[in-house]
Structure 1
Amino acid sequence: MLSHLLTSFVAASTFSILFNVPKKSLLSAGFVGMAGWALYISLIFQEVDPVAATLAASFLVAVISHVFAKRYKNPVIIFSVAGIIPLVPGGMAYDAMRNVVENDYTTALELAAKAFMISGSIAFGLVLSEVLNQIFLRKRGRLRRYMGSRG
């Protein structure tokens, strides 16, 4: 487990360098990737479906990204892009294309479909977090206006 955490931290942090993330946020971006991967791998060890595990992990990545964005006064995308890097099914997509080249279309189709579903769950987790964040902020704003008018 420790090797998974360390590798995901390094992957997210070094990928952040490619996107010119401010130096003060590199460790935080690495932490976001590590947290998402930790949730994913712990769910996989509990024999949860990889698509559901990826959905949960990407949702966690998005939530932590919003918190860090507010804390460090940076855009959310700095943390969310770095955070999802360990979750991207690149190896699975590669294996699907390799099987196409080897004329093993059945295996290629299975792997491609699974990679597509995992990619979709990453997107859905990020969108779900954003929608819930907007709903929360809207309700919080209404509560502040209500409390302000009463005071």
Structure 2
Amino acid sequence: MQLFFNIILVYLGTIGFGILVNVPKRALNVGGIVSVMGWLIYYFYTQYVGGYIEANALGTFSIGIFGIVASRCKKLPVIIFNIPALVPLVPGGQAYQVMKYLATGNYTLAKSYLIQVVFIAGAIAAGFLFSEFANQLFLRLKKKISIKKKPF
């Protein structure tokens, strides 16, 4: 039941952020689904396999791939799906801890959380980079296969 509740909150949070940044209405539902798919990969990875950094990279990679597919289906730019879908993976809790420990003077814990934020942000960037790389690789392979099939 807790997982179902979290899925609903991820979906609604993505829709809400999409409304704030003026995502077209026809893209809101699909953007929420893209976000839920990425968050589920993140959730199951953290629960059953490993740490947050790898989970963020895989979740962002899947958001990138699903966002590309959604952008082709809806004929809209991919950023319309990627940016709102990324909201559940942003390390807001760790960033808050950095500010809290800096304000209270506990610089050791602040440094530890800052390192986590930097690595998670890097994993998010790498996830998007690899999803775009996979898309470009797919398009090139598709183009080469279609060239080989044409008779001369």
TM-score normalised by L of structure 1: 0.95
Tell me which residue corresponds to 1:78.
80
Within a 5 Å distance, the mapping from 1:2-151 to structure 2 comes to 2-148=4-150, 150=151
Runs of 4+ in 1 over 3 A off after TM superposition: none
Query: What amino acid maps onto 2:23 in structure 1?
Result: V
Query: What amino acid maps onto 2:10 in structure 1?
Result: S
Query: What amino acid maps onto 2:95 in structure 1?
Result: A
What is the alpha-carbon distance in structure 2 between the residues aligned to residue 97 and residue 63 of structure 1?
Answer: 33
Deviations 1:88-108 (A, max 9, x none): 001210111110110011110
What is the alpha-carbon distance in structure 2 between the residues aligned to residue 117 and residue 21 of structure 1?
Answer: 29
Deviations 1:67-106 (A, max 9, x none): 0000000000011111111000012101111101100111
Deviations 1:91-131 (A, max 9, x none): 21011111011001111011010011111101100110001
What is the alpha-carbon distance in structure 1 between the residues aligned to residue 137 and residue 111 of structure 2?
Answer: 38
Deviations 1:17-74 (A, max 9, x none): 1221111111111111111111111111115111001111000100100000000000
What is the alpha-carbon distance in structure 2 between the residues aligned to residue 100 and residue 62 of structure 1?
Answer: 34
Identity %: 31
- Number of residue-to-residue matches in the alignment: 150
What is the alpha-carbon distance in structure 2 between the residues aligned to residue 37 and residue 25 of structure 1?
Answer: 18
Query: What amino acid maps onto 2:98 in structure 1?
Result: A
What is the alpha-carbon distance in structure 2 between the residues aligned to residue 107 and residue 3 of structure 1?
Answer: 32
What is the alpha-carbon distance in structure 1 between the residues aligned to residue 100 and residue 49 of structure 2?
Answer: 27
Give the Å deviation of 1:134.
0.5
**Cα 1:103/1:47, change in 2 over 3 Å:** farther
What is the alpha-carbon distance in structure 2 between the residues aligned to residue 36 and residue 131 of structure 1?
Answer: 18
What is the alpha-carbon distance in structure 2 between the residues aligned to residue 4 and residue 116 of structure 1?
Answer: 25
Query: Which shifted more, 69-78 or 2-11?
Result: 2-11
Answer whether contact 1:32 1:82 (CA < 8 A) is retained. Answer: no
